[in-house]
């Protein structure tokens, strides 16, 4: 009797699974019957989409793109912590307020530091180029005269 009850409780799951399988079969057969046929497609290429490729997909991105992506991920994590605090602000009390105040103060300090060192400056900037120029020739000033004579030639 116990086995019949356990099988009875599985019926909804079996019906659902059968419905999913039936839906997948209908979609695949319908796609095969109604889909377009192309004889001269580029199905042997890397993407296998049927569209002939027009160039190389391996392009080089600037390092600034990756830095921006890292800043975005960091910002998302910051938002997660701040939203979690905002949801429980009453339950956390002054201890939670102090913790989030320290967290936000650290975020502001890091933001100011990144801004000061030029990590947020993207693209060619006169300040960045000049700073790198000074860093390069600060250790050995004789390089300046060598590079200026090479530029005149």
CATH of the domain at 67: 1.20.58.1610
How far apart, in whole angstroms, are the C-alpha atoms of residue 71 and residue 84? 20
Between 42 and 96, the higher pLDDT residue: 96
Residues 30 and 87 in one domain: no
Residue 151 reports pLDDT greater than 60? no
41 in any annotated domain: no
Q: Are residues 67 and 117 in the same domain?
A: yes
Within a domain: 46: no
Q: What is the number of alpha carbons within 13 Å of residue 86 lying toward its C-beta?
A: 7
Of 8-17, 59-68, 79-88, 144-153, minimum mean pLDDT range: 144-153
Residue at 134 is within a domain: no
Q: Is residue 142 part of a domain?
A: no
pTM: 0.43
Collapsed DSSP state (helix, strand, coil) of residue 111? helix
Number of domains in the chain: 2
Per-residue pLDDT reduced to its tens digit, 19-64: 999 999 999 999 989 887 766 666 566 665 656 667 666 777 777 7
Give the residue numbers spanning the domain of 18.
1-36
- Helical axes 126-138 vs 142-152, angle rounded to 10°: 120
42 and 50 Cβ atoms separated by less than 8 Å: yes
23 and 70, same structural domain?
A: no
């Amino acid at each position: 009797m116990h086995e019949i009850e356990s099988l009875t409780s599985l019926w909804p799951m079996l019906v659902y699974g059968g419905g999913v399988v039936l839906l997948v079969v209908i979609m695949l057969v319908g796609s095969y019957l109604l889909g377009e046929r192309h004889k001269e497609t580029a199905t042997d290429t890397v993407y296998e989409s049927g569209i002939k490729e027009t160039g190389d997909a391996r392009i080089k991105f600037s390092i600034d793109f990756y830095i921006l992506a890292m800043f975005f991920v960091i910002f998302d994590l910051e938002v997660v912590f701040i939203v979690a605090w905002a949801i429980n602000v009453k339950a956390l009390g002054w201890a939670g307020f102090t913790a989030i105040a320290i967290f936000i103060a650290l975020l502001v300090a890091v933001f100011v530091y990144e801004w000061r060192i030029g990590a947020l400056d993207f693209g060619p900037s006169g300040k960045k180029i000049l700073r790198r120029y000074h860093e390069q020739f600060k250790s050995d000033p004789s390089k300046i005269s060598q590079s200026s004579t090479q530029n005149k030639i």
